[in-house]
Amino acid sequence: MNNIQLSVVHRLPQSYRWSTGFVGTKVEILPTEETDLGSSLMGLKLLSHEGEEAREILYVINQSIADMQIPSAVIEWEGEPCLFFSKEDESAVICRLKTLGAAIAENITALYPL
């Protein structure tokens, strides 16, 4: 599947954690006061694809990240498949995505503060 090279991923705006009793299958938004904890997760969503096609691409990305010994999971969030992984692994995951040819969408206010 070469669609990864045509994929655009976007960081979800909040920090997350595994829901109690649902590690690897369900996430919840992390309260602001807990976002600096080492257990926080980051989520990525595909902007370029939707539905089953997005899920398939995310599974390919998930496997590629697993090849680097980085745990991650494809989980439905707000009706869309998203990829979740430890925030500590963000740099390695973003590097892998770029190596695969995916584009990373950045928040414009992060680049040009008001």
Return the CATH number at 34: 3.30.2130.10
Which pLDDT does position 50 carry in this prediction?
A: 86
* pLDDT tens for the chain, residues 1 to 114: 455 667 888 888 888 888 778 787 888 898 877 666 667 999 999 988 888 899 999 999 999 999 999 999 999 999 999 999 999 999 999 999 999 888 888 776 655 666
End-to-end CA distance of the chain: 40
Measured distance CA(104)–CA(113) in Å, rounded: 19
For 113, the token pair is 């503060």
Which pLDDT does position 61 carry in this prediction?
A: 93
Measured distance CA(68)–CA(10) in Å, rounded: 21
User: Domain total for the chain?
Assistant: 1
Which pLDDT does position 3 carry in this prediction?
A: 59
Which pLDDT does position 23 carry in this prediction?
A: 80
Q: Residue 101: left (phi > 0), alpha (psi -120 to 50), or beta?
A: left
Which pLDDT does position 26 carry in this prediction?
A: 85
Domain extent at residue 25: 3-111
